[in-house]
Amino acid sequence: MGGGKGSGERAMDDAAVDDTVTVDVAVVGGGLAGWTAAIAAQDAGRRVTVVERSARRPGWGNSVVSGGALHAVLRDPRANPAVLAAAITELTDGHADPVVVQAWAANAARAVAWVEAQGGELMSDPDHPHRAKVFAPVRVTEPGMRHAGFGVTNFLTAQRESFVRRGGRVIQPGRARSLSRDTDVWQLEVQRSGTATVGVRARSVVLADGGFQANPALLRRYVGTDQVRRRAAGTGSGDGLLMGLANGGVAVNMKGFYGHLLARASLERDDLWPYPILDLLAEVGVVVTTDGMRIVDEHLGGVTTTNAIAWSSNPAGCWLVVDDDAWQHEGTIGITAPNPWLVAHGATVHSATTLRDVAGLAGIDGPALEDSIAQVRDATATSPPRTGRAKLRKPPFHAIALVAGVTFTLGGLRVDGHARVLDDQSEPIEGLYAAGGTMGGLHGGPRAGYAGGLLEAAVFGLLAGEHAAGRS
């Protein structure tokens, strides 16, 4: 592993346009899922080509701008597989595919060990199970997309360099736009600059180019709205998903996404995303629409509440209301805490000594807001219910306009325990695989239950690469 660029890399990277590359395995996507699949297949002696849309090396997707935690439902990925499987099944209210869940749980520890064997530097935080295995150096939770020098970027860069040194081919930048099958061989059409294209013929194809969070049309179709703030890389356009569907695949658990609560001002200001997030504040406040009515049990957490905003009747008209106790405590937690970051960077936080007055400043129905908060205070809220404590008694009260911050979509192509794409009869489509954000079946449900994106990518990238290598 490791090492710098040499003449071999230049030769492999610069695939001639209007040419055809023939390999055993083609991988679409240069994130953790894609590079894991590529290395696993190459380790088995297969000829592999990786197609990566962005010119940025090792690839530009959510992996390199993530927090780097290889967690399993906020647990140590080396925990008992039965415990992990039960946790995601409960969190998704049974919507996770049992076959996918079992494959994920059974291979979680193995995938982490594989990353470490490949030279991945992982740190441990014994006091926080969800940080039992984190890529180091750890990326700072700050506004912007700074990624160079952090753990995931370092690891994937080394994987790419090792792959190329050993004869792997990288078509970058290159966007896979169509996929078809001729008997037992798959044909990818890859768009390079302008109208130039490269054809890639392979016995097996692994689709691992992420979700569809950067595709407004697909967001409207599946999530129900595109009135969101993307808080990650902009390359997840659903290309792999669409190619899989066009070849007989089936989409599953498409409504949910992983994300966090952001100030609506982040739609206009880049220094307000992907941080600060308002999840902790929401857990002790209320989230309402302009009619003053709550839309979710806020104590279920930021991912659930963020989805509830996107699924509401007015995604562009949701507000967070908190008291001053919350604003001075929960609001000050984090490197880029909402208090004072929001006001200091141009967001409006309405404040007033009464609920009626803060409602007037925000354009919220005052009597309805008072009634909603009274129900939460008195523990009589039923529609939606309220679990957990709330801080809604100490003036002044504060109101912040919200937007759903979408990191990546949770649904995707239905797969089996080997990451093979399944058709509408639940039969594998020979030679076609999906991993990471392109696959579905692990996350979802009414609470948008989320198992952890990086671990999913590592597990199913590994399974896809190994199985594709065996087939090829």
**Model pLDDT for residues 192-207, shown as the tens digit of each residue:** 977 889 999 999 999 9
**Judgement on whether residues 339 and 446 belong to the same structural domain of the protein:** no
Alpha helices by DSSP H, 193-269:
216-218, 239-246
Q: What is the mean pLDDT of the chain?
A: 94
Q: pLDDT (tens digit, 9 = 90+) per residue, 229-266?
A: 999 888 999 999 999 999 999 999 999 999 999 999 99
Mean pLDDT (whole number) for 154-162: 96
**Judgement on whether residues 29 and 175 belong to the same structural domain of the protein:** yes
Query: Does some domain include residue 101?
Result: no
The answer to whether the Cα torsion of 191, 223, 302, 345 is positive or negative is positive
Query: Does some domain include residue 268?
Result: yes
CA 152/CA 454 separation, integer angstroms: 10
For residue 351, pLDDT over 90 is answered with: yes
CA 52/CA 57 separation, integer angstroms: 9
CATH number of the domain at 226, please: 3.50.50.60
Decide: 270 and 385 in contact? Cβ < 8 Å: no
pLDDT band (50, 70, 90) for residue 60 = confident
**Judgement on whether residues 194 and 322 belong to the same structural domain of the protein:** no
**Judgement on whether residues 273 and 215 belong to the same structural domain of the protein:** no
H-run or E-run covering 357: helix 355-362
Lowest mean pLDDT among 1-10, 78-87, 393-402: 1-10
CATH number of the domain at 370, please: 3.90.700.10
**Judgement on whether residues 306 and 378 belong to the same structural domain of the protein:** yes
pTM of the model: 0.94
Indicate the residue among 406, 432, 448 that finishes a domain.
Answer: 406
Query: Does some domain include residue 351?
Result: yes
**Judgement on whether residues 175 and 246 belong to the same structural domain of the protein:** yes
Q: pLDDT (tens digit, 9 = 90+) per residue, 298-325?
A: 999 999 999 999 999 999 999 999 999 9
The three-point CA angle 317-257-56 to 5° equals: 110
Closest by Cα among 377, 402, 383, 397 to 320: 402
**Judgement on whether residues 224 and 278 belong to the same structural domain of the protein:** no
Query: Does some domain include residue 106?
Result: no
Query: Does some domain include residue 99?
Result: no
**Judgement on whether residues 52 and 171 belong to the same structural domain of the protein:** yes
Indicate the residue among 406, 424, 441 that finishes a domain.
Answer: 406
Query: Does some domain include residue 82?
Result: no
pLDDT score of 390: 92
Query: Does some domain include residue 164?
Result: yes
Indicate the residue among 379, 406, 433 that finishes a domain.
Answer: 406
Q: In percent, how much of the chain has pLDDT > 90?
A: 85
Tokens read off for 258:
């992983």
- State how many domains the chain has: 2
**Judgement on whether residues 234 and 155 belong to the same structural domain of the protein:** yes
Tokens read off for 156:
């994937």
Tokens read off for 305:
């509440």
Query: Does some domain include residue 1?
Result: no
CA distance to 148, 221, 245, 279, 316, per residue, from 225 (Å): 32, 8, 21, 21, 10
**Judgement on whether residues 212 and 349 belong to the same structural domain of the protein:** no
pLDDT score of 13: 54
Q: E-assigned strands of 241-391?
A: 251-252, 257-263, 286-289, 318-322, 350-352
pLDDT band (50, 70, 90) for residue 183 = confident
CA 383/CA 293 separation, integer angstroms: 9
Give the contacts of 344 (CB within 8 A, at least 6 positions apart): none
**Judgement on whether residues 153 and 241 belong to the same structural domain of the protein:** yes
Amino acid at 26: A
Exposed e or buried b per residue across 170-183, where buried means at least 16 C-beta atoms within 10 angstroms of its C-beta? bbbbbbbeebeeee
Structural domain range at position 370? 259-406
**Judgement on whether residues 356 and 384 belong to the same structural domain of the protein:** yes
CA 322/CA 234 separation, integer angstroms: 32
How would you classify residue 445: left for phi > 0, otherwise alpha for psi between -120 and 50, otherwise beta? Answer: left
